[in-house]
Amino acid sequence: MTGTVRELRVHESVRALVRPFVTAIRRADAIPVVLVEAVDDTGASGWGEAAVSWRVTGESPASVRAAVLGPLSDVVVGRPLDATATLGADLARAVVQNAAARSAVECAVQDLSAARRGLTLAAALGAPGPGLSGGRGRRTGPGVRSDVGLRSDLRVPADLTEPADVRVRTDITVSAASTETLVAVARQHVADGFTTIKVKVGAGGDDRAALVALRESVGPDVVLRVDANQAWGVDEAVGIIRYWEAAGVGLELVEQPVRARDLDGLAAVTAQVGTPVLADESVRTSDDLREVIRRRAAGLVNLKLAKTGGLAAARSMAELAARNGIGVVVGCMMESSVGVAAAAALAASLGGADAARTHDLDAGLWQSTSPVRGGIRYDGAEVALSSRPGLGIDGPAGDGPLVGDDPAVDLPAAQRTVAP
CA–CA distance, 395 with 38 (Å, rounded to integer):
12
Catalytic residue status for 307: no
Q: What is the DSSP letter of 69?
A: I
DSSP strand pairing (327-330 vs 382-385): unpaired
Q: Are 343 and 304 in contact (CB under 8 A)?
A: yes
Q: Are 409 and 377 in contact (CB under 8 A)?
A: yes
Alpha helices in 192-262 (DSSP H): 207-218, 234-246
CA–CA distance, 379 with 84 (Å, rounded to integer):
32
Catalytic residue chosen out of the listed positions 19, 117, 151, 200:
200
Residue type, 151: R
Residue type, 41: D
Q: Cα 139 to the chain's mean position, in Å? A: 26
Catalytic residue chosen out of the listed positions 136, 304, 357, 377:
304
Give the three-class secondary structure for 351: coil
**Could you give the strand order of the β-sheet that contains 382-385, starting from the edge strand earlier in sequence?**
166-169, 382-385, 377-379
Catalytic residue status for 198: no
Residue type, 18: V
N-term to C-term CA, the chain: 50
Residue 354: which residues within 8 A CB-CB, separation 6 or more?
318, 322, 327, 328, 347
State the sign of the Cα–Cα–Cα–Cα dihedral 245, 249, 254, 257: negative
Q: Which sequence positions are flagged as catalytic?
A: 200, 304
